[in-house]
Amino acid sequence: MKTFVILFLVGCASATLRPRLDGRIVGGKPVSIEDFPYQLSLQYGRSHICGASIIAPNWVLTASHCVDGRVSSQMSFRAGSSFHAGGGTVHQAKTIIMHPNYNKNTYDYDYALVQVINPFEYETKVKPVELATENPRPGSRSTVTGWGTLTSGGSIPNQLQSVDVNIISHQNCESNYGPNKISERMICAANPGKDSCQGDSGGPLVDPITKKQIGVVSWGYGCADPNYPGVYASVANKDVRAWIKTVTEI
């Protein structure tokens, strides 16, 4: 589950496969929700734990590892606010559906859909994001958004953060992580000194030109480690798109 940090994150670079659960966006900047109206703060017990995105009036897309073992009665989403701790509207979760093939050891199929009780009412600060049908080409720029600490060991900022990263080829990413680590459901992105990190998980990776979501923040070795790109669950995968359509009917 993800959050964001600004500046290089010391102590986040141990070579251990881990979901990005509660850390920061590295090298990012504060932004307004008007520019990212699909962004949600996934909250559990009223505390921000992950990112998520609006894909339909009653449906949210996030990462399976963000919702694994959690109950809907304790889960909600804050929409329409640049600040995870207040503003906007809060939407109570109704149904949590993890991808049936999710593997908690490898983070393959790291997708989850959550149905909310009170639908999102679209306006300037609250809008759905369209899901991409094709993966971006290597070298393409992409944008990740979320909330997280500004420095290693620092306090968590209340305002939404964003960072730009570049898509890495599947082959190059696999050469970094090793064989059988990067599945067909994963895409990788990196930029020197910039990355998503713990607490950003479940949040959207978006093409800044088409404004379509291309990935879900998933996992990585450390944060902004020059040897290990961030790994995202690809939403363009045909089987995954078919599952999303079957569940949500969108």
Cβ neighbours for 31, distance < 8 A, ≥ 6 positions apart:
82, 145, 159, 160, 161, 162
84 is catalytic: no
Catalytic entry in 64, 76, 81, 110? 110
201 is catalytic: yes
Dist. CA 131–CA 245, nearest whole Å: 11
Task: Give strand pairing partners of 77.
Answer: 42, 91
> What letter represents residue 136's amino acid?
P
225 is catalytic: no
Catalytic entry in 82, 183, 196, 201? 201
Catalytic entry in 22, 53, 65, 218? 65
List the catalytic residues.
65, 110, 201
